[in-house]
Structure 1
């Protein structure tokens, strides 16, 4: 526990490891069987590539259809700001203590074990639900190529699941190499698309008949369906921009965690602005919300990026983009299984669930968690055999988005508790390895925004588009919220947990010698 030394003589007898402005004791840190094999360049590219996910390419069409270009501009800009705040919170807490267990451990040790359990289950649930959403998207991507219909749907699902699992069979260093190159491909694709959209908006494409700029904001209009449409766009934005928490999970397998986290977090603002905000504003200028393909099609057939290429009469670009989207979907699938398995293992490592889920092999791979997560998420994928891919994708993207919003709010709360613990133990936040700007006031704002978004989603779950409200539609869209509350209450009542007192938070691992001496 971080504390001031009672006397100068005590200080002389004890090795001084400076973390913040306090002298603290450091014992060896247990890595819980993980191997720190991920390099700085791998994690940086994985973090940059993590933002270019399935929801950006495929789900944006749904948001544009219901909210209009102004609606998605508002929704994605607000959510991008919240995600940036989330990265700042995670960066500060994780750079200080880059240990296994990630933010789940932070939530349990800084706030309350019941809170950590509920957040851990929520996060694991979120990533398990992304598995069927991702595979559903992969299936919908193939719709652009009619010849792919010759293969049975169940066969595609099985093949995609095997690829996702095989990407996690190799040791973590090999996983890092795979994701490193996949991330490069995704980044090149997103920059190429931004370049094309900019040319199209500026009038550089003959088929558009001149500059577009805000043409479609005037006719058919900027915002469709008012606040209800924006609420629908919030869902897709939450699904598209989720995943920033993975930096805390990866930190447990990073070679030089503090340097890596700082180097990764600093450029996040520009990544959020370029990959999401700029992209969404441009695509809203290129495709009207009443485009017939946007209204009636699904998958990449309904993707505004593919539609923009078709409106520009660039068929080759539509097919090329579709191939890049397919690669992105497969890459995301490998990462999804990695995060889902690590989150379940993290809860076991910190004794929130049964220790059997924490077992790893000699290479640090958590086989049981990997199999359980894939089996549950993979089993749900076969719902595609009975319902249309668009309906299944909508279900799971809504569930994932609500879970993501809850997780972001929980991280802001945890960061506030973290700052309170620093103050209680006289640790100057200015000397932290990484400092979140405007904390904790920015986190208060983040909590308020999350509360507003969840209120919008609650309203949308009661009064959905195109059908009367029912228990089925409510839980299909908002299940994550009651599940989180249920987990929190049951764990608290069963184990009689209490809020952690700020002065009793244990910061001793922050002074682990290999971090304090050579990795700051």
Structure 2
């Protein structure tokens, strides 16, 4: 490959700037005195793949099971408000991240941005938080797998072939049917769970627990930005993702939450954290309606969905480790990828720690360990939200200082009503921090404030903060000056072909573009972007 040349799938090639080539080709000294090129990820994700992966990531144990715990802890009204708050934060987060990703679509994404526009120590903190949070997700998903398998208490597990998105549609249909009186009992649900039981259960403590569950369940949509560094057309994929994913996530969760709160009482002993045999709230609703067979089918489909999320939880942190190694935040050998673009060492390290977390989760008290895992992941996610919001302000400061007009370029993409989006992200992150501290000092279970309860909620926050400060102090990293901040490396201008494709897209009638936005016809030219 010639210096400065990046090869794209299906023969689409573009000559990049020399500085971009230097970023893409990094080598380290081997023990025998030779050097080996680390390689780079392939820019192979199509817009359709970006949307399919983001669609699947929105449907997992956070929707299937954790909504039951949120209902038991907070009641229907507090749970709904908590998830609404997080969905608003997702909008601000994706708007903020997409603006930077389209201009600089690097594999490191917001970790790279924090290092070049704020401080390398903050980049280390962001990467460590993301890796720790998603590695803990693997163990928590294993706990939820046990919850689902224990439902049968048998030796065999039914097979399920439907995708998670179709399961969501099935859940909506059967929920509407049960509300209308379907099933042997024939009971019409009248919403008495909202009036006969506390709508705001356990006060602010209940809301705090529901908010932490919400950010854990759906808060890390920033992985879409990481995928943007490997997308064929970041301008098209990320712009669509920023506009569509917040709405889709809100529909998935808020609609399901309303159904859960309407169909299942918050004091049902079978909800996660109750005294009975734990089940998904959707399974509980179908069982209460007296419908046979469907609970087993739903349980099997949910198990498939949770296993898929666990696989995603290996993919993302391995990319994060590799990015940190490329930026010299970790040893260089971790950055190596094979001929197919897979980060071998990063995958191995992530799998090792994920296995250790999973073993601890399954060998100890499942519910107590789950509290630790959820708190680690929740803290990791809202810390990175705050980092992304703050990085956005530093990014704009660098653009002003260096008088760069990237948003005025043809098809330049800017966050809607900036700085509204980063302000929203920082505000929601601050509220989530307050929720975490309140829950650690006044837990709903465990007998009030104790050192054990405090650290079970704050362990993730403390580890991330301590590691970041230690990195800053030991390596004496410097705060980036906006006047000299790097606005060159990784800058990707649109190719002539991409401009022609975008011209064709925006020449379409509004209804056709809306059709595309809804993922019914994403590609402008199927032979190029599909």
TM-score by length of 2: 0.82
Give the match for residue 393 of structure 1. Answer: 370
Give the match for residue 327 of structure 1. Answer: 304
CA offset digits 1:105-140 (Å, max 9, x no partner): 111112111111111111111111111111121122
Q: In 2, distance between residues paired with 1:462 and 1:295? A: 22
Shift of 1:205: 5.4
Asked if 1:491 is matched to 2:467, the reply is no
1:347 to 309, 315, 324: 324
CA offset digits 1:300-341 (Å, max 9, x no partner): 933211111112222322111111110111111111100011
Secondary structure of 2:480's partner? Answer: coil
CA change 1:26–1:284 in 2 (3 A) is: farther
CA change 1:248–1:394 in 2 (3 A) is: same
Shift of 1:255: 2.3
Asked if 1:57 is matched to 2:64, the reply is yes
CA offset digits 1:433-483 (Å, max 9, x no partner): 332212213322321221122112112112212223222222221112222
Give the match for residue 55 of structure 2. Answer: 48
Q: Which runs of 5+ in 2 are unaligned?
A: 1-15, 25-38, 500-530
1:307 to 284, 290, 303: 284
Aligned pairs for 1:474-485 (under 5 A) are 474-485=454-465
2:72–2:273 Cα contact (<8 Å) kept: no
Give the match for residue 167 of structure 2. Answer: 189
1:208–1:311 Cα contact (<8 Å) kept: no
Aligned residues: 464
1:122–1:403 Cα contact (<8 Å) kept: yes
Give the match for residue 357 of structure 1. Answer: 334
Q: Which stretches of structure 1, 4 residues or more, deviate above 6 A after TM superposition? A: none
Asked if 1:449 is matched to 2:408, the reply is no
2:239 to 243, 249, 262: 262
2:184–2:290 Cα contact (<8 Å) kept: no
CA change 1:355–1:312 in 2 (3 A) is: same
Greater helix content:
1
Shift of 1:384: 4.0
Shift of 1:426: 2.7
Considering Cα pairs closer than 8 Å and 6+ residues apart, tell me whether 1 or 2 has the greater RCO.
1
CA change 1:216–1:145 in 2 (3 A) is: same
Q: In 2, distance between residues paired with 1:443 and 1:346? A: 24
Q: In 2, distance between residues paired with 1:77 and 1:425? A: 38
Q: In 2, distance between residues paired with 1:189 and 1:149? A: 21
Q: Which runs of 5+ in 1 are unaligned?
A: 1-23, 151-180
Secondary structure of 1:294's partner? Answer: coil
Q: In 2, distance between residues paired with 1:439 and 1:404? A: 22
Q: In 2, distance between residues paired with 1:298 and 1:114? A: 45
2:440 to 461, 486, 489: 461
Q: In 1, distance between residues paired with 2:65 and 2:189? A: 26
Q: In 1, distance between residues paired with 2:139 and 2:179? A: 35
Secondary structure of 1:314's partner? Answer: coil
1:93 to 92, 97, 100: 100
CA change 1:430–1:60 in 2 (3 A) is: farther
Shift of 1:147: 1.1
Query: Aligned Cα RMSD in Å?
Result: 2.4
Shift of 1:41: 1.3
Mean Cα displacement is larger for which, 373-382 or 336-345?
373-382
CA change 1:49–1:253 in 2 (3 A) is: same
